């Protein structure tokens, strides 16, 4: 029964609708979102097959307000200067204490200052899109929202977009409708720059996701994950059995696997671009973007991203690529452990995806499994406790075999001021074995 329930939930979650209709407020009860250029639940449900991708409303840049809207008394708008280490530290502090937690409030994301530098100063970043709110008396930073410019392809259309992230309101100021004010302000600052569309991901269900993923977790240090309450001991198993289940070999197995080097950039970018063309929704990477996200040359205090390639020993061609990044979570109020070190699978690409006779993923599936198994081994060597992945790209081809377990969390993908037919997920489902 448990297995059946689990399957039911996964299937429901993959549709983008909340389980059994729970947590679904209708559009009318979304006092803020019903005023915004986003599709309603009903319209998406009714028109699934008829939706034509395109902007929802035209924005007249001349009519966009030049000044921020009024702030609540006692607070004021600020633009954060993330080049200033002190201000970066303030954003870090706010997020470390008030950002996203799991439903049981056991864990909270802990983005390092190095991570924030990486995520918020992406190529073309604008200081104006790092928006804060300070309490006037204490000068304390109490809220934040950010955007970075990206090129996003939705099927055949490439949008000049902002990616909105790190929306955070101090716990003492929650439920006072500050979030809509922040969202309207980042929207205004995007419009002012001539950017009229945005992409964002949120754990909770709002009107209306264009796609939904589920989080999967693969234990690397099961004992620690069990200690902190992240991985319960399954009925009928023992601690020893769990430790053995997640044990990994000491060495990687793919011939030609090595850390990525500067000389690989052209080949990897070419491979990654071709691989991402198979997806309906993907960022479009220039070489500058690629270097920033996947092969940063400036080494930060704390390493954020790891990139590897496979070089064919005979032809010296790059045949595969994978990367993961480092995002810790605070373990709230635990005596022994203060953080979980999590590796998140980032981008990857493999030539086996283009195999012509690949009707049943006959090469792609085993290759991905070998690569991800090596990624797990490398992450373990770097002292990560857990390896996380979402149900995007071709990930469903390896999650089960590599002993990932379905998590509670979902991640909904949203587009602002852009209507798009719902996405089926990264995997070409007709091609699954």
Q: Which residues bind ligand MYA (CB under 6 A)?
A: 30-33, 98-100, 162, 164-169, 174-180, 183, 186-187, 190, 195-198, 200, 202, 206, 416-417
CA distance 53 to 2: 39
Nearer to ligand MYA, 33 or 354 (CB): 33
Nearer to ligand MYA, 24 or 244 (CB): 24
Q: Cβ of residue 31: shortest distance to ligand MYA, in angstroms?
A: 4
Q: Cβ of residue 47: shortest distance to ligand MYA, in angstroms?
A: 22
Q: Cβ of residue 41: shortest distance to ligand MYA, in angstroms?
A: 12
Nearer to ligand MYA, 159 or 393 (CB): 159
Nearer to ligand MYA, 179 or 377 (CB): 179
Q: Which two tokens stand for residue 272?
A: 């990654």
Q: Which two tokens stand for residue 97?
A: 């204490």
Q: Cβ of residue 356: shortest distance to ligand MYA, in angstroms?
A: 40
Q: Cβ of residue 204: shortest distance to ligand MYA, in angstroms?
A: 6
Q: Cβ of residue 332: shortest distance to ligand MYA, in angstroms?
A: 13
Nearer to ligand MYA, 206 or 363 (CB): 206
Closest listed residue to residue 183, CA positions, set 127, 144, 141:
144
Q: Cβ of residue 98: shortest distance to ligand MYA, in angstroms?
A: 6
Nearer to ligand MYA, 94 or 372 (CB): 94
Nearer to ligand MYA, 148 or 399 (CB): 148
CA distance 355 to 180: 47
Nearer to ligand MYA, 186 or 220 (CB): 186
Nearer to ligand MYA, 152 or 386 (CB): 152
Q: Cβ of residue 322: shortest distance to ligand MYA, in angstroms?
A: 26
Q: Cβ of residue 261: shortest distance to ligand MYA, in angstroms?
A: 34
Closest listed residue to residue 402, CA positions, set 362, 373, 375:
373
């Amino acid at each position: 029964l448990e297995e059946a329930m689990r399957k039911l939930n996964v299937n429901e979650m993959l549709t983008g609708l909340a389980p059994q209709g729970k947590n679904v407020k209708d559009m009318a009860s979304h006092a803020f979102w019903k005023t915004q250029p986003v599709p309603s639940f009903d319209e998406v449900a009714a028109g699934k097959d008829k939706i034509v991708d395109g902007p929802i409303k035209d924005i007249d840049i001349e009519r966009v307000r030049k000044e921020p809207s009024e702030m609540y008394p006692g607070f004021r708008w600020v633009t954060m200067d993330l080049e200033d280490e002190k201000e970066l530290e303030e954003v870090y502090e706010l997020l470390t204490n008030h950002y996203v937690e799991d439903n049981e409030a056991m864990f909270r994301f802990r983005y390092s200052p190095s991570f924030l530098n990486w995520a918020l100063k992406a190529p073309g970043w604008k200081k104006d899109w790092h928006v804060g709110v300070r309490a006037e008396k204490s000068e304390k930073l109490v809220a934040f929202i950010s955007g970075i410019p990206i090129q996003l392809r939705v099927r055949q259309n490439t949008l000049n977009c902002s990616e909105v992230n790190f929306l955070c309101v101090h716990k003492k100021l929650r439920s006072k409708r500050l979030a809509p004010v922040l969202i309207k302000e980042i929207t205004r600052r995007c419009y002012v720059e001539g950017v009229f569309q945005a992409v964002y991901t949120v754990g909770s269900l709002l009107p209306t996701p264009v796609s939904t993923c589920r989080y999967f977790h693969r234990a690397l240090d099961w004992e620690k994950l069990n200690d902190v309450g992240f991985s319960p001991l399954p009925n009928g198993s023992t601690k020893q059995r769990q430790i053995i289940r997640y044990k990994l070999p000491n060495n990687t197995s793919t011939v030609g696997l090595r850390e990525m080097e500067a000389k690989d950039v052209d080949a990897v970018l070419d491979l990654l671009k071709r691989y991402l063309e198979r997806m309906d929704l993907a960022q479009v990477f220039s070489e500058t973007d690629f270097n920033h996200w996947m092969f940063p040359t400036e080494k930060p205090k704390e390493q954020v991203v790891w990139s590897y390639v496979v070089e064919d020993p005979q032809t010296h061609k790059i045949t595969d690529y994978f990367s993961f990044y480092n995002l810790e979570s605070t373990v709230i109020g635990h005596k022994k452990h203060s953080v979980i070190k999590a590796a998140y699978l980032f981008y990857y690409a493999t030539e086996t995806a283009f195999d012509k006779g690949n009707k049943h993923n006959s090469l792609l599936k085993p290759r991905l499994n070998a690569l991800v198994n090596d990624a797990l081994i490398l992450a373990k060597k770097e002292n990560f406790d857990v390896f996380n992945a979402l149900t995007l790209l071709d990930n469903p081809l390896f999650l089960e075999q590599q002993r990932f377990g379905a998590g509670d969390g979902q991640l909904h993908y949203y587009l602002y001021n852009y209507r798009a037919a719902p996405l089926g997920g990264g995997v070409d489902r007709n091609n699954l074995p």
